[in-house]
């Protein structure tokens, strides 16, 4: 993903400064309050949330190394939220352009405003540090938004990813140590659930073409693969702080993180989310090819 183009606050031309001022005042009137938060040295989720307290490399690290590993893991989740909300906003604006009725355009205008508001709220916690996350999920999202098939776009983004985002935000909110961020995340839930439900209802009106089914299958295979490989970002966080890890170390870390249980829970949730909401033929194919089976730690160390 091109990090240069992310975020309205990252360009400092004069023209942008005046747009920023108007944007800020519009957001303030929308949100009523937009607190100033210094998130530069803040932990939002602790080692227990990530499962790092079960990892020997983490247990044996110095307090400073532990702090750095946690900081990278926290930052990863914040940046991921940022990318999700940005993709959400892009998606809603794209659906506005693809809408066939005035009501549909109105609906996607409102949804786009929800996502723009979420993005602004997440930015308060991301701060002004550059977004570094070239994570595979962020890259995947930016590619998904490029899909031109409306039924496929709706099935993948609004039905699956929004539904998934809803449960992800719920668990992030529940474990969040910072009351302001917890409140913000809880505030997302109602809108995200509305976005997901609207996608489910609208998709029922479509009879996806064989081409759409093919696209849905391909994109969901790719998405499930990212869940199958487990929490690789935590291995990378340890690797960055402790120095280059051997393959055996990586496998051990993933085993200690209980990667198979971690991924299996998420894959089951995704299967129940897809069941009845995406075409059966696609779900059967995903099932047959083993997309809902987590990879064992020894298969994912190179990912």
- Nearest approach, Cβ of 78 to Fe ion (angstroms)? 14
Structural contact between residues 66 and 58, judged by C-beta atoms closer than 8 angstroms? yes
Structural contact between residues 232 and 300, judged by C-beta atoms closer than 8 angstroms? yes
- Nearest approach, Cβ of 293 to Fe ion (angstroms)? 28
Closer to Fe ion by Cβ: residue 114 or 256: 114
Closer to Fe ion by Cβ: residue 133 or 259: 133
Q: Which residues contact 259 (CB under 8 A, 6 or more apart)?
A: 230, 231, 294, 295, 296, 297, 300
Closer to Fe ion by Cβ: residue 133 or 301: 133
- Nearest approach, Cβ of 144 to Fe ion (angstroms)? 14
- Nearest approach, Cβ of 240 to Fe ion (angstroms)? 29
Half-sphere exposure for 231 (CA within 13 Å, toward CB): 25
- Nearest approach, Cβ of 216 to Fe ion (angstroms)? 19
φ/ψ region of 136 (left if φ > 0, alpha if ψ in -120 to 50, else beta) reads alpha
Closer to Fe ion by Cβ: residue 80 or 115: 115
Structural contact between residues 297 and 251, judged by C-beta atoms closer than 8 angstroms? yes
H/E element holding 237? helix 232-242
CA distances from 196 to 111, 149, 297 (A): 11, 18, 32
Cβ burial, residue 4 (10 Å; 0-12/13-18/19+)? exposed
Closer to Fe ion by Cβ: residue 53 or 183: 183
Closer to Fe ion by Cβ: residue 55 or 203: 203
- Nearest approach, Cβ of 162 to Fe ion (angstroms)? 5
Name which of 294, 291, 166 is nearest 230 in CA terms: 294
Closer to Fe ion by Cβ: residue 43 or 137: 137
- Nearest approach, Cβ of 18 to Fe ion (angstroms)? 26
In the DSSP assignment, the letter for residue 289 is T
- Nearest approach, Cβ of 199 to Fe ion (angstroms)? 9
Closer to Fe ion by Cβ: residue 89 or 282: 89
State the residues that interact with Fe ion by CB under 5 A. 85, 88, 115, 118, 162, 192, 195
Structural contact between residues 166 and 187, judged by C-beta atoms closer than 8 angstroms? no
Name which of 158, 169, 167 is nearest 196 in CA terms: 158
């Amino acid at each position: 993903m091109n990090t240069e183009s992310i975020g309205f606050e990252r360009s400092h031309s004069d023209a942008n400064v005046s747009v920023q001022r108007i944007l800020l005042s519009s957001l303030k009137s929308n949100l009523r309050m937009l607190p100033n938060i210094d998130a530069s040295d803040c932990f939002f989720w602790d080692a227990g949330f990530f499962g790092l307290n079960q990892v020997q490399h983490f247990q044996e690290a110095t307090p400073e190394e532990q702090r750095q590993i946690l900081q990278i893991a926290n930052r990863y989740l914040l940046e991921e939220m940022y990318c999700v909300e940005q993709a959400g906003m892009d998606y809603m604006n794209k659906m506005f352009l693809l809408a066939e009725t005035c009501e549909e355009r109105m609906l996607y205008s409102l949804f786009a405003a929800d996502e723009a508001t979420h993005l602004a709220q997440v930015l308060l916690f991301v701060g002004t540090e550059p977004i570094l996350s070239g994570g595979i999920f962020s890259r995947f999202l930016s590619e998904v938004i490029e899909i031109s098939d409306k039924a496929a776009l709706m099935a993948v983004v609004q039905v699956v990813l929004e539904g998934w985002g809803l449960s992800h935000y719920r668990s992030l909110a529940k474990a969040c140590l910072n009351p302001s961020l917890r409140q913000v995340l809880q505030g997302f839930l109602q809108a995200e659930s509305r976005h997901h439900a609207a996608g489910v209802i609208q998709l029922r009106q479509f009879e996806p073409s064989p081409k759409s089914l093919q696209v849905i299958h391909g994109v969901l295979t790719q998405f499930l693969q990212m869940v199958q490989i487990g929490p690789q970002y935590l291995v990378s966080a340890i690797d960055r702080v402790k120095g280059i890890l051997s393959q055996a170390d990586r496998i051990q870390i993933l085993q200690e993180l209980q990667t198979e249980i971690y991924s299996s829970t998420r894959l089951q949730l995704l299967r129940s989310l897809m069941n009845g909401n995406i075409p059966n033929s696609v779900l059967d194919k995903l099932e047959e090819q083993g997309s809902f089976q987590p990879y064992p730690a020894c298969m994912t160390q190179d990912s």
